[in-house]
Amino acid sequence: MTERKSVAPVATLLTRPVSLADRPPLAQSPFVAAAPWDEFVRNHPHGHLLQTSAWGALKSQFGWRDGGVALLDETGAIRAGALLLFRRTTALTIGYAPRGPLTNWQDHTQTAELFLQLQDTCQRAGAALLKIEPDLPDTPDHRAVLLGYGLRPSPQTVQPRSTIMLDITGDDDTIMQRMKSKWRYNVRLAQRKGVIVREATAADLPTIDELMQVTGERDGFAVHSAAYYRTAFDLFVPDYGVYLLAEYEGEPLAAIVVCMVGQTAYYLWGASSDRERNRMPNHALQWAGMQWAKARGATRYDFWGIPDALGQLAQGLRCGDGSGTPSDELPLDLEALPQGELWGVYRFKQGFGGDVVRMVGAWDLPIHPLGYRLYRGGVSALRTAQHLRATLEVYQQETHSPTPAARNE
């Protein structure tokens, strides 16, 4: 790994900006910076699974090119940085820092230097823009900080902006008391009805992939390929995560993937069959995921994604201070919520308790002005097409669907 000169004067603490973009892919040959980088991510206040070298290695095998930037002090310790992913679209290359960058946002010298290095790295990669999605709550102060570094609110997000964050400190009874009574009952019911949850092995991956495909077809979700889940297993297990499988009398019913970085566990993926649903295998899996994470030192459990409209509602109730709103305090009629997209999973997730938290979202740093204008125009055209498609689908349903009376005949 070679050092290069800073593109601007920096403080003594940040005299060694180092690019990670020239390293070989992690999946082929681990690079010297992988271990200290991941240690930095684990210990950073805003460290996240999506900033680990393992996540970069996963995405690098499925259409992305991974790289990054780290700022080192005079002792060689990492002080700030970002895992970067690059992808070529039809006309543009986009740089992306998922749940990054990682910096002390109150330290202007450090953060300004980091953005200079990120901009330089993206320029050398031929990127039209850098999209970041930092792990920061959506507050006026955080938005002002991002604007101050020349970033613009992005018209296109990648990760879910709103989530439910569950406190898993305390003993089992304490965690159970944070759930709705029906959810506590269902967790215990699954145990009484013979549902067994175990850690999956590589031999179980075809079964888990089948469950994923069934879930995608049933619920209208996009799912990854079998190769994607296998590669993730090889990279995440056991250092970062676990694949959990729920069975009844040896028959697989459902599965989830839970990962952990620092003190936060993430419910990454889930799947279920249509068999034996009355035995509540999904409740049993979430409970097992929480216990797995808690045993390894996690203090909170991120359910990873709910409709952003609910995040906006929660944010309004708390005046946008970023502290989160208990899910059971949202003024909602759960039975009246829509069925599609993330609404159905919200009904399930909110029963475990926790706070609704909205993040600051995606922000763009334009690298090439013309390329960025093309990107913004393309996103606008795509949104228009999606709106038109949705309008036509509603029209077709209203025109061709039978009347309620006809359905009952």
The order of strands in the sheet holding 251-261 is 195-199, 241-248, 251-261, 264-272, 300-302, 162-167, 355-358, 325-326
Q: Residue 199 above 90 pLDDT?
A: yes
pLDDT tens-digit series, residues 275-288? 999 999 999 999 99
d(Cα 214, Cα 272) in Å, to the nearest integer? Answer: 7
Q: Residue 170 above 70 pLDDT?
A: yes
Residue type, 214: V
- Model confidence band, residue 331 (pLDDT cutoffs 50, 70, 90): confident
Asked if residue 155 lies in contact with residue 279, where contact means CB atoms within 8 angstroms, the answer is no
Residue type, 21: A
Of 32-36, 297-301, 377-381, 401-405, minimum mean pLDDT range = 401-405
Q: Where are the alpha helices (DSSP H) in 106-204?
A: 108-124, 140-148, 172-177, 181-192
Q: How far is residue 88 from each of residues 51, 85, 98, 127, 223, measured CA to CA in Å?
A: 20, 10, 16, 8, 22
d(Cα 360, Cα 145) in Å, to the nearest integer? Answer: 11
Mean of pLDDT values over 127-152: 97
- Listed residue (125, 103, 124, 99) closest to 113, CA to CA: 103
Provide the pairing of β-strand 129-132 with 93-97: parallel
- Two tokens, residue 123: 């320029």
d(Cα 246, Cα 228) in Å, to the nearest integer? Answer: 21
pLDDT tens-digit series, residues 68-119? 999 999 998 999 999 999 999 878 999 999 999 999 999 999 999 999 999 9
Asked if residue 322 lies in contact with residue 137, where contact means CB atoms within 8 angstroms, the answer is yes
Q: Residue 138 above 70 pLDDT?
A: yes
What is the DSSP secondary structure assignment for residue 121, as one 8-state letter?
Answer: H
d(Cα 343, Cα 380) in Å, to the nearest integer? Answer: 25
pLDDT computed for residue 376 by the predictor:
86
Task: Name which residue leads in pLDDT, 401 or 134.
Answer: 134
Half-sphere exposure of 292 (CA within 13 A, CB side): 27
- Model confidence band, residue 148 (pLDDT cutoffs 50, 70, 90): very high
- Listed residue (133, 134, 122) closest to 21, CA to CA: 122
- Two tokens, residue 233: 């297993």
The secondary structure of 180-220 as a DSSP string is -HHHHHHHHHHHHTTEEEEE--GGGHHHHHHHHHHHHHHHT
d(Cα 78, Cα 13) in Å, to the nearest integer? Answer: 10
What is the DSSP secondary structure assignment for residue 329, as one 8-state letter?
Answer: G
Whole-prediction pTM: 0.84
- Model confidence band, residue 404 (pLDDT cutoffs 50, 70, 90): very low
Q: Which residues contact 153 (CB under 8 A, 6 or more apart)?
A: 143, 361, 362, 363, 364
What is the DSSP secondary structure assignment for residue 32, as one 8-state letter?
Answer: T
